[in-house]
Amino acid sequence: MAFVTRQFMRSVSSSSTASASAKKIIVKHVTVIGGGLMGAGIAQVAAATGHTVVLVDQTEDILAKSKKGIEESLRKVAKKKFAENPKAGGEFVEKTLSSIATSTDAASVVHSTDLVVEAIVENLKVKNELFKRLDKFAAEHTIFASNTSSLQITSIANATTRQDRFAGLHFFNPVPLMKLVEVIKTPMTSQKTFESLVDFSKALGKHPVACKDTPGFIVNRLLVPYLMEAIRLYERGDASKEDIDTAMKLGAGYPMGPFELLDYVGLDTTKFIVDGWHEIDVKNPLHQPSPFLNKLVAENKFGKKTGEGFYKYK
């Protein structure tokens, strides 16, 4: 009887271990790589929702600028959210900022993190080198995610030994205001990883949508061809950019016209995405380059961030 009991207990113990290993990761500690607009925004919303965050970039100067930007953004949020209670707003800002640490050494901080979110330059080689290095130092349970908007998640994940714990987590700019997050599942991403990232997105107050690892995911796959077709319409002389913008705002109910949006997103960013898709599928008419867009980018006219794109800005 004792032998049977021991066998039963072993069975229960083994079953419990298997069940525990299949449980979702509850993300509490987040490491964000990249202190630009996207990375800083992700760090802000994570810290504001009770997560401890380490924001990583190459220099202390970049990180100081990022932290300053986060503080300014938080004060705007607090002013609106705590309009009737400025003291509570101030406490919210201070508490959120205290949850964000900074570092210039990613490898030294990923050993105790639950999730690494990468938001660096859109360059596959650079991303692969980063994740290959971090893979050696991160804990076994740590999930890796890329915020790429145009590169294939699978190609980035293949640089690591944790393809089952790798996915896309695509936020939208400005992160504190935009509710959508695209959660990208590769053929190798485990269901446990996918569900953990969906739960994390919800914990941030975002609305996650699921998509397979297809070029552009959902939003950009539909948006970029629309923007490119607007450019072609203008290039052919069929309509002015002003009338095209007005038509889409008044006729389709869009908050911005395609040329206004192109200038906001950055013409260099749009060109990068289209060029990448064109390399993958040369014959696809939706992915054909635009001579006029190429010309503007060659002249360093990227849109609002440079003061001129399709429109001029003061």
Residue 173 annotated as part of some ligand binding site: yes
Other Cβ atoms closer than 10 A to 9? 10
From the candidates 99, 146, 149, 290, give the one annotated as an active-site residue: 149
Q: Is 216 annotated as a binding residue?
A: no
Whether 179 has a binding-site annotation, put simply, is no
Active-site position among 99, 201, 220, 290: 220
Q: Which of the residues 182, 196, 287, 290 is marked catalytic?
A: 182
122 annotated ligand binder: yes
The answer to whether 201 is a known catalytic residue is: no
Annotated catalytic, 284? no
Task: Answer yes or no: is 266 a known binding residue.
Answer: no
Does the annotation place 15 within a ligand binding site? Answer: no
Judge if the upstream peptide bond of residue 174 is cis by omega within 30 degrees of 0. Answer: yes
User: Known catalytic residue: 128?
Assistant: no
> Is 314 labelled a binding residue?
no
80 annotated binding-site participant: yes
37 marked as binding residue:
yes
Query: Of 99, 150, 170, 196, which residue is the catalytic one?
Result: 170
- Judging by DSSP bridges, how do beta strands 143-146 and 115-118 pair with one another? parallel
Separation CA 268–CA 300 (nearest Å): 8
Interatomic CA distance for residues 11 and 307, integer angstroms: 68
* 111 catalytic per annotation: no
The answer to whether 305 is annotated as binding is: yes
Assess contact for 263 and 307: CB atoms under 8 A.
no
Task: List residues forming the annotated binding site for NAD(+).
Answer: 34-39, 57, 122, 127, 149, 173, 305
- Residues annotated catalytic, as ranges: 149, 170, 182, 220
| Annotated binding-site positions for CoA | 73, 80, 149
Q: Which residues are annotated as a binding site?
A: 34-39, 57, 73, 80, 122, 127, 149, 173, 305
